[in-house]
Each structure stands twice: as C-alpha cells, then as structure tokens.
Structure 1
C-alpha cells in the first residue's frame, strides 16, 4: 500500500531569487560564521581562559555550552524556514547574533557569560540549515552546484583559516575579535537577505498542524547526547554519573522521537527518510569522512602546539599556503568534475587523498617542523573539498528537494553529531595511546638504569651538579619521554584516520549510480528541451511519484 507523501513531512517550495549573486554571497558569509566561530572558539579557548580567569572545568563547560545548543535548534530550522520563510528566520537571527557577539567581550559576570554563549549557539544553529533551504527554495537549478559548493567549502576553509584568525587575533588585534568579527559579518548577511531574498507568505496551515512533540524530542535527545560526548573524555565516560545520565536520557528521548513520528498523523521527520540504501550509505560516508578528517584537523595542531610548543600565529603560514589558498582551487575543480562525472568518482578521489595524507602523517617524528606537514595538509584539504562536497551532491541527487524540510532534521543530526563523536573518540584515543606509549617508554627506566644515569650526567653539565640541577636534568628526561609518547600517539591518530578513509572507500563500493536529475552530470545535455518551468514541474511530479511508489522520501 502506498503512503501519501504528506505522511513523511511538509512539502517545501519557494520563490526564485531575482538577485542570485547576492543570495550566494549571503550563503558564503553564513557558512563563514558557522565554520569559523566553531573553530575559533576551540582553538582560542586558552586565550579566553586567561581573559575570563576560567579554570579547566569552567572552560570545558563554556565550550560545551557554546556549541551544544546548535543541535537543539538546527534540526528544526528547515521547518521554521518552510513556515515563516527565509527572511523571517535568518534576518532577525543575524542581527541578534551580532549584538550578542558585541556584548560578550564586555562582560564581567560569569553567569551572563555562559547564558549569552548559550543563546549565541542557538542562533548559530540557524545559519547552516537555513543555507541548505535557501539553495533549494530561492536559487535557480543552474546555481545549485555553486550553492552546495559554498556550503561544503566551510569545512576545509574554517578548519584552516580559523586557525590563522586565532593567531592574528591573539597576537595582534586582541582576543575580543574572536567575537567582534561577527559584528561585521552577521549584519552583512541580514543586509544581503533584505535586498535579495524574496518575500514569502506565512504558511499558516503548516503552523497549525506542527509536530511540536517530535521537534522537542529530537532536539532534546541530540543535545543531551552531544553534551555527553563533549564531556565524555574529560569525565572518563561511563565512570561519570553525569555522562551516563545524559547518554541514557538522550537515548530514551531518541526512542520516543521515532515512536512519535510513527504514530502522529502529520509527522515532522518520518524515519523512512533515512531508509533508502543510497542515502543511508551516503550518511555512512559522511561519518567516515568526518572521522578521517578530524585526524588531520586535531593531530597536526596538537603536535605543533604540545610537542613543538608553537603558538597559533607561528602555524598560520602553513595553513595559508597549504589550505586557505588551495581550497578554492580544489573546490572549483570538484565542481568542474561534478558537472562531467558521477559523484562517486569525486568521492573516491577525496577519500584516496585523505588516506595518502594519513599514511604520510603516520611517519611522524619529533623532528617534524610546521612545513614538514605541508604535503599532509594539501592532501587533507583536497580530500575534504572533494569528499564532503561530492557526498552532499550525491545525497541530494537521490532526493526530492521539495522534501528538504523533513530530511534536513537528519542532515543536521549527522552533521553535528558525527563531528562531535569524531572529536570526542579521537581525543580519547590519543589520550589512551599517549598513556600506553608513556608506559612502554618509561618501563625500562629505573633508578639503577645506566642509560638514565648517563643521560643525567650529560645534562648536569648544563644544569649543574647541585640537587636542583639533578632534578632539572631528571625533569628534562621525563619531558623528552613524554614528548616522544605524544609523537607516537599522534602517529597512531593518523593511522586511525587512514582506516576511516578506507572504510569510506568501501562504503562507496555499495552505493548505486546517481539518478537522473538536476544534479546529474548529463542533465544539461539530455534534459527535455522544454521551458524551464515545465522542466521543473515535470521533475517535481516524477520525484513525487517515485517517492510514493517506493514508500519513502529522500534526503
């Protein structure tokens, strides 16, 4: 028995923008805000600790509170855009976000600091989901690949340029610019949307039949799981009652969400959205990509800061040359190939590049300088540009864009959840491997060790033979052992990144060919020679018929 399309979530449609270049500029800035603010906060956290006199625990919770609310609201943003329109959702959010970003560096009260960061994160959660909706609601089909490329560009660009900005702000302009950059950028987003975004009517009927329970259950469950992941490594996972309670509570709410979506009359995001083979495997590729990508984005800065002892500004040149400049070349090449070959080939190119970069990085030694990482950074930048962009195109090619409201909930959960899961598990892996290598390296060292005494005697020529000099010599030996343990652990991180890239390659093998549609490389050459409006109408009708026949919606 066929299931009516309305059973899977609301239909979304919009008005084509009259100034698409301004919409594209707004998308670029919105992606900039999300990617850079998330990266800048994580890299610049030590500077914020000093500015606000925060302890380690307080700083850790500040980071969690500044990110977790994103997932609370992001899954519902597509629905809000369908009901209220892009203008009503993004313009006020951008302006309020700018005001909060202006106020935070001026605060001296700890409670207000945490509260404003939470509100700021809620607003930050609006930008990326709204970006996806703008692409399909307000851009002509010929601009879709460009819009998706801008959406995908934020991943490699934010991880690299964000590090550069932290270095510049921390050493030259002041830590306040970690926030004040948005006082300039966010109002520009609002201005561009005021000028270019078409005015859309309020969807009253959809508002009256809203699945509030489903939205609340999904947002709350994912937020609890996100907090558990973010604090898990620091609190030693299930040895902590807080983490255990959050995981159990989040899991129960997630089960409640799926039950709710299966029984309510008008579900907001029916689970059938993720039951298509191509889309399910595509989500798996995103997860594998995120884990592999996190290896490069965490290991390289951690090595250069913890082992080489460098500040972000000293590392920024590596990212400018190896990532910031090349990323525009790579994403342009990815778009060019995407118009000519199947997305799966581009995904393979990206994952292979990341796998090779991981293999090179696994040969890490303590003598490596920032420029030793240049081939690794280049390969990871290429891999991120090709893989993420092409996977998003592949997922959307298997979808009916008119059903983006229902599927966007899962897209945002995968986007934020997989990134946080990757960071948390990789940090735990690095911590455990560092402890393992420390035990292995320190095991042969004993009070009677001749090698130890020989090394201390050599160091005493520098520190002196006094008791203080002997202690300093012993401390230098311990530091070298710990540094080498870090090096070996970071090498293991690259090994883990390699295997996740291989897992992504294996998943690609099981994907099917791209269906013919606006994102297919042959669409421009083989589409029926009809008026654009008629083509779009026919495609929408065929997509709806296919959806009903198969019993599910797509991404």
Structure 2
C-alpha cells in the first residue's frame, strides 16, 4: 500500500477556498434618457446663446456705437474687454464646475448673462457699459467648457461622438449665425435686441438644465488646495495677451508702448502660470496631457482650423462691405449658407466617424484638403464679384468644417479617462478662444499691410504707364485718366476716382493674398497630421458576457 504523507493528504482533503469577490464597480451616473437629454440640450443652448451674444454684438458694433454715441477707438474696448474675460473664464470654469457642480455653475452663469443682457441698453455711459460687458464676457466664458464636460461624462459610449458633434456646433454653427442675427435685429426690430435676443434663450436653458442635469454635491474642501498662484498669474496673463491681440492692429502693434507692455508682461506671467500648473497638486490645467501626441496635435490643429473658420466669414464680409457697400443684412445669406447646413452635416460626419473602420485622421486631412481647395477658388476674386460668387466657396466649407472639427475632438478626447474631462475641456476651450483672438488680430494686420503694399504698387504702375504714354505722344491712358502722373493736372473728380479704384483693387488683391496664406496653412497641417497623431477608435459600450454554466 502506497504511503501518503500526512500534509499532502490534509491538503487534498481540505476544501478549496472560494475565489475572492471582485471589487464593487464604481458608482454609475444616471441612465441616459429623456431627462438627461433635456439637460444636455439646455447646456448646448446656453453655449450657443453665449456665442450669439458675442458674435452678434461684434458684427453690429458700428451700429451700437452710433446708437450710443461712442467713438471708434472707445468702441473697440467693448469687444476687447469682453473677449479678454471670456477667454480667461474658459481656463478656470472647469475647476469651478467640479467644486460647485456643473448644474449650479451653468444655471448661475446663464442667468447672469441674461440679466446683464437685459440691462445693457440702459447703461448711462461708456464706463458702465464696459464694466457690464466685462462681467458678461466672464459669464459667457464659463459656459462652453460645460458642454464638453457634460458630453464626455454623461453620454453613453455608442453616441459620445454625436455629443462631440453637438459641441462642434459652437465652432461652426454659432459664429456664422451672428451676421444674419445682427442684421435682422438692427434693421427690422430694434438695436436693443442685439442685447435682448439672449434673454428668452437664457430662461429656456436654465429650465432645461435645472430639470435635466443631476445635482452633484458641493466640494468646498477643494479650496484647501486652491491654486492661488495659478489664478494670480493666469488671469492677468490671459487678459493682457488677448487685449494686446484685439487692440494691436489699431495701435500699430509694437510701436505702441501699451501693446509692448501687454505682450511682454502677459507673456512672462503666462510662462509662470504654465510652470506653476505643472507642479501644483490641484491645477487648473494638467499640462502633462501635452505629452500625449494626440492632445498636442489636436490643440495645434484646432488653433489653425479656427483661424481658417474666421477667414471663411471675415473675407467675404469685408469685401462685400468695402467694395460693394453691403449692409450686414445683405451679407446674411453668405453666413446662412454656411451655418444652416451644419445642422445636417455635423450629424452625418459624426455618424461617419463613429464607424470603427473609418480613421478620423483621414477624415481630418480630407477636410483640410477641401478647405484648401475652397480657398483656391477664393483666389479668383476680383472687383466684379458679388454675393453669389462666394456661394460655391462657402458650400465646400459646409463639408470641410465638420470633418475637421469632429476629427480634432475625437483625437483629443478618445484616449483620455473620465477624470481628464475637465482638464481637456479647459485647455481645449482656452485654445479655441485664443485662436479666435489671434485670427482677428492677424487677419486685420495682414489685410492692412497687404492693402498698403498693393496700393503703393498700383500707384507706381499708374505713374510709370502714364510717363511711358507721354513719351510716346499717346494722349490716352487705359488705366484711369490721361494725366495721372502729374498731380497738378488732375481734377478733383479724377482724384476721387483714382483713390477709389486703387483702394478697391488693393483690397481685392489683399483678400486674394490671405486666401493664398490659408492654402499654405492647410497644406502645413495636412503634413503635420500625416506624422504626429496616433489612431483612435470611437468608443463602444463593453460587451456583457454570459457566465459559463
């Protein structure tokens, strides 16, 4: 008989211990349904009305200045201060949303926007209006980060890409609707409605958010680690840089001591802000996210795409206003043909990018290529163009803009965890705000410089041609007048005609130059996105496997 060792026998006879129970799953948020969808719509409406308030008053600034008897230089501060605090709020709002809850912050800031908009036409002087617009800019800036945070947190994985498409409306649909709204309110209703248009939308948004979004608890203990150094360096840095960008072209950039001090001081404080955010235990920005190739590529490409979007609406508006004498209401179809189809194009592109076999990097590069092709058509611009000549350019961008924006959003967010949502939202929205400010400053500077260059060259050509004609004894000139080279022989009407024609042609050539620059920008970012980002896939709900019997 085989002898069995006692320890081995006891081990065989002992019962097998039960496997340890898995840890409890993390608490889930509310199930997605009608109530939560209503809350998301309320946040989307709040973000859109913030964009309407910004872009409508910007487009109708000349009319507002006329009604309030404000000069040009003073009126520019209405936009500059609004933009400065609008972009600053985007940087700090995600921290506040975690501390006070998304629901509370959205309702309070939306209500603040509505109340200030209601009071805006009754301001007694320019100083009061500037203070009001500063506060309203801060409140408006708190709203866009909420939409991305809500979409990343509450939407089920299978439809999360559609939530990103809804956020893309704020970059494509909202800004382009500002022009027709500005023209409609001023021409047919009353200039006060440039400020009052948002009031009913604020009420609807607050009701939807209050009923639809869940209420998170207050987390006031976060103030124990509040990033005071980040606030004291970041807020003045962002405000200084944005004001410098907004006022730079008017004050001739670095020839102005104010612009020089704003750029140098703001840049120094911004570097300190970035260093502080890197080491702070509870920062406003998680700068370490920039180590991820997709995040850094997305922020760079987003800045470029928003510059392209500003050019898309700015160049036709400037041309039609300066060359054709159009009012905002007459340029409205240019913006509407770009804005309204986005309501269809964005869901379609979202559905395309939600297919697992589709690489969103290819969609992004295709969008950049289509955008560049539309600008190539824009380089054909001449002084005979009217509103209808821009339609084909705008229609091509109806396709390209959603392809670019949704792909960028996917690259930026699909590789991140839920805890990174507030951080990427703040970085994304502040980049968006800075890009708009940079676009406004750079395009204004390019238009002015290229217009001055072409004006000088055209006058030189006129003088050269006239001297040649005089030398040949030819009494006629095919350009403007038979005596352009001799100012003393020019009649007043001829001088006016010469000035008008040169100014018109200079602006047309400057617009064409900017289109060429944008083609180069599209090509550069196609090359960048060939090498930098890594592929991401649309999210999917985890499959539930049945236990083996």
TM bin, normalised by shorter chain, reads 0.7 to 0.9
Q: CA deviation at 1:456?
A: 11
Task: Tell me the secondary structure at the aligned position of residue 214 of structure 2.
Answer: coil
Structure 1 contact 75–409 (Cα < 8 Å) conserved: yes
Task: Tell me the secondary structure at the aligned position of residue 68 of structure 1.
Answer: helix
- C-alpha separation in 2, matches of 1:163 and 1:457: 36
Task: Tell me the secondary structure at the aligned position of residue 534 of structure 2.
Answer: coil
Aligned pairs for 1:93-242 within 5 A: 93-242=109-258
- Matched pairs, number: 508
Aligned pairs for 1:71-470 within 5 A: 71-320=87-336, 322-340=337-355, 341-446=358-463, 454=476, 470=491
Structure 1 contact 437–485 (Cα < 8 Å) conserved: yes
* Post-superposition CA distance 1:363-401 (Å, at most 9, x none): 111111100000101112322221112211211012223
Deviates further, 241-250 or 504-513: 504-513
Q: CA deviation at 1:514?
A: 3.0
Structure 1 unaligned blocks of 5 or more: 1-10, 461-466, 532-555
> CA 1:93–1:346 in structure 2 vs 1: closer, same or farther (change >3 Å)?
same
Q: Is 1:528–2:543 an aligned residue pair? A: yes
Task: Tell me the secondary structure at the aligned position of residue 445 of structure 1.
Answer: helix
Structure (1 or 2) with the larger CA radius of gyration = 2
* Post-superposition CA distance 1:221-248 (Å, at most 9, x none): 1121111111111111111111111111
* Post-superposition CA distance 1:332-358 (Å, at most 9, x none): 221111111121122122111110110
- The answer to which structure, 1 or 2, has the higher relative contact order (CA under 8 A, 6+ apart) is 1
Q: Normalising by the residue count of structure 1, what TM-score does the alignment of the two structures yield?
A: 0.86
> CA 1:457–1:143 in structure 2 vs 1: closer, same or farther (change >3 Å)?
closer
Structure 2 contact 180–335 (Cα < 8 Å) conserved: yes
Q: CA deviation at 1:149?
A: 0.9
Q: CA deviation at 1:13?
A: 9.3
Structure 2 unaligned blocks of 5 or more: 1-25, 483-487
Structure 1 contact 291–500 (Cα < 8 Å) conserved: no
- C-alpha separation in 2, matches of 1:194 and 1:490: 47
RMSD: 2.6
Structure 1 contact 13–82 (Cα < 8 Å) conserved: no
Partner of residue 474, structure 1? 495
Task: Tell me the secondary structure at the aligned position of residue 216 of structure 2.
Answer: coil
Deviates further, 221-230 or 132-141: 132-141
> CA 1:510–1:458 in structure 2 vs 1: closer, same or farther (change >3 Å)?
closer
Q: CA deviation at 1:139?
A: 3.1
Aligned pairs for 1:472-511 within 5 A: 472-511=493-532
Q: CA deviation at 1:92?
A: 1.4
> CA 1:12–1:290 in structure 2 vs 1: closer, same or farther (change >3 Å)?
farther
* Post-superposition CA distance 1:142-189 (Å, at most 9, x none): 442222111101222123221111111121112211111111111211
- C-alpha separation in 2, matches of 1:114 and 1:484: 37
Q: Is 1:26–2:42 an aligned residue pair? A: yes
Structure 1 contact 214–268 (Cα < 8 Å) conserved: yes
* Post-superposition CA distance 1:307-334 (Å, at most 9, x none): 11111111222333x2233212211221
- C-alpha separation in 2, matches of 1:256 and 1:15: 40
Deviates further, 209-218 or 261-270: 261-270
Deviates further, 48-57 or 23-32: 23-32
Q: CA deviation at 1:421?
A: 0.9
Structure 2 contact 183–327 (Cα < 8 Å) conserved: yes
- C-alpha separation in 1, matches of 2:199 and 2:148: 23
Partner of residue 548, structure 1? none
